[in-house]
Amino acid sequence: MKVYLKRRLRPDEMLERIGELEAGGRREEALRLAAAYMAYEEEGESSVLVEEEVPFEVARKLLSKRMLELISCIKRSGEKSVSELARELGRSPSNVHADVAFLSRYNIVYLERQGRRVVPYLLAEELRVEL
């Protein structure tokens, strides 16, 4: 059984890939990705999708009730901080922070620091299981 995650690239990943493409002589691809990065800079959202295999145990944790509630809350909440999400979910901030850190480690969310606030933005678009 394999599990795949389709997600948007983080801004730092786009810049890294642009450099790799240019270094590898793939200028046309680098220019396309640079244009996508510029669009991100203007609009605040990446449209570049990648698909990666996810370890089964990670997928299992993502599909837990607690994680699904958190992911859903992040998706609909816009720019709420981890503390605000914790209040909305009726959970402790430290537990929500730990779950958000897990989601960030596996590129489900992108964390942006805004002063003292940490705001998660959803990168994940799709989780697919192949038998």
Single-letter code of the amino acid located at 38: M
Segment 42-51 shows an average pLDDT of 82
pLDDT band, residue 51 (cuts 50/70/90): very high
The per-residue pLDDT of the chain, averaged, comes to 92
Domain ranges of the chain: 2-52, 54-125
As a dihedral over the C-alpha atoms of residue 8, residue 63, residue 85, residue 93, rounded to 10 degrees, the angle is: -120
Cβ neighbours of 55 (radius 10 Å): 11
Distance CA 10, CA 24 (A): 21
Distance CA 126, CA 7 (A): 7
Q: Is 1.20.1630.10 the CATH classification of the domain at 54-125?
A: no
Name the residue with higher pLDDT: 88 or 10. Answer: 88
